[in-house]
Structure 1
Amino acid sequence: MVLGGVRSGKSAFAESKIATLSEGPILYVATGVAVDDEMTERIRLHRKSRPQEWSTLEEPTKLAEKLAPMLTGAGAPGAVIIDSMDVWVANLLMENQSENKHPLEEIVTTEAEQLLKLVVDSPQAFVFVSSEVGLSLVPTEPLGRHFQDLLGKINQRIAAAATEVFLVVAGLPTKIKSND
């Protein structure tokens, strides 16, 4: 797992890390959605930075459902990078907006648990990329607080299951967990 702030260099580090985890094909799972010009440009730059031999799955919400059939068979990847969990959680929240925190939490937690089960049960190496929200201000809006709470919980769950966790600050990765 690779955590960091916005524009911290976490994606670049995760991409270099995933390349060392498998000699086989790499699948890049992108969760971003081009909702405006700025996001369209971010997606364009991310696509441009990836090696052309990597396969890409662009999926904003149903990660486990769309990823599962791609992990078996002759064309299965040797490693998978999922970039990013924070955008994925935001997509789920926007798709399932509600004033009631509990249905949102249930939807996001269920999707996250399905994804983690898939990851644990598969032979591929995985690298998750996510923003670290524990260092930021508490949002003033309820949806922002729901996002921060849910992403914090999901990051903790992924980090607990991960063999390595890195925090990237200003392009500098620091290993904060290792199961060596």
Structure 2
Amino acid sequence: MGKICLILGGARSGKSRFAIDLAQKRAQKVVYLATGLSRVVSFTKVTENRKGTPAFVTSGLSVDEEMDARIEKHRQSRPRNWRTVEASDDVTKKVAGLDPDTGLVIVDCLTFFISNLLGRWNFTEEGSQIKESLIEDTVMEEMELLLEEIKASPADFIVVSNEVGMGLVPPYPLGRIFRDLMGRAHQLLAEAADEVYLLVAGLPQKLK
């Protein structure tokens, strides 16, 4: 088991930039696991790592041009010699299938991972069809499986995620479920992590 670093922050807080800076200092062979999915990118393809070079894994689902532009901006911000593994809904499998000599993995970001899991559910009917407790338990089971694979890997991990629990209570059920799940996922990861940072205005605050 390698070391785990959790990086939290709001939108445009500098968390991804901080994750990249940390990775450049700590490892040569980096995998960027991207959880953001663009319509123009196939997330089923995994590029083989070349010896001594870094790689990346991402997990978001893009449904419009503005989101495509955001994903492309993130892509351009990574070092050109890094390898990116893009996985919108099979992040756990991608982690399990990493090369054993991978030095460090950036998962960017956990927010898309949780959002994509929620996207599997039908929220058109309220009450009887879908129970909030069932949704939360199912998603957290997936989160626990991901954490198990992270712990089983010899690589170090940097996990990036959005802190969404500091604002107003969402006015709709799906928003409240998402907020609660993110909070539970962060607590689960923070307990297992060796380091936890909160990014505010580009400034990292070390919490653990």
Normalising by structure 1, report the TM-score.
0.91
In the alignment, the residues of structure 1 paired with residue 92 and residue 118 of structure 2 have an alpha-carbon distance, to the nearest angstrom, of: 17
Task: Map 1:67-106 to 2 at 5 A.
Answer: 67-72=95-100, 76-98=101-123, 99-106=130-137
| Aligned structure 1 segments of 4 or more residues deviating by more than 6 angstroms | none
CA distance in 2, matches of 1:11, 1:97: 31
Tell me: CA distance 1:97–1:129, structure 2 relative to 1, closer, same or farther (3 Å): farther
One-letter amino acid of the counterpart of residue 91, structure 1: N
1:146 to 162, 169, 177: 177
Counterpart contact for 2:95–2:150, Cα < 8 Å: no
Structure 1 residue aligned with 2:139: 108
Partner-residue secondary structure (3-state), 1:45: helix
Q: What is the Cα deviation at residue 19 of structure 1?
A: 1.7
Name whichever of 86-95 and 96-105 sits farther off: 96-105
The share of aligned pairs that are identical, in percent, is 43
The residue number in structure 2 matching 1:14 is 19
Q: Within 2, Cα distance between the matches of 1:13 and 1:130?
A: 12
Taking a change above 3 Å as real, the CA distance of residues 136 and 35 of structure 1, as seen in their structure-2 partners, is same
Deviation at 1:27, TM superposition (A): 2.8
Report if aligned partners of 1:71, 1:122 keep a CA contact under 8 Å in 2: no
- Rounded Cα–Cα distance in structure 1 between residues aligned with 2:99 and 2:184: 26
Match for 1:165 among 193, 196, 202? 196
State the TM-score, normalized to the length of structure 2: 0.79
What CA distance in whole angstroms lies between the structure 2 residues aligned with 1:88 and 1:54? Answer: 21
Partner of 2:79: 51
Shift of 1:66: 2.3
Note closer, same or farther for the CA distance 1:107–1:27 as it changes in structure 2 (3 Å cut).
farther
SS at match of 2:184: helix
Aligned residues between the structures: 174
Query: How far is the alpha carbon of 1:21 from its aligned partner?
Result: 2.1
Give 2:9's aligned residue. 4
2:127 counterpart residue number = none
Is the Cα–Cα contact under 8 Å of residues 30 and 84 in structure 1 kept in the other structure? yes
Which of residues 49, 55, 68 in structure 2 aligns to 1:27?
Answer: 55
Q: Is the 2:59–2:88 Cα contact (8 Å) retained in structure 1? A: yes
Residue number in structure 1 paired with 2:153:
122
- Which range is displaced more, 26-35 or 94-103? 94-103
Distance 1:59 1:82 in 2: 10
Of the candidates 64, 67, 70, which is equivalent to residue 39 of structure 1? 67
CA deviation vs aligned residue, 1:125-152 (integer Å, no higher than 9, x gap): 1000011122121101100000000010
Secondary structure of the structure 2 residue equivalent to 1:7: coil
RMSD across aligned C-alpha pairs, in angstroms? 1.3
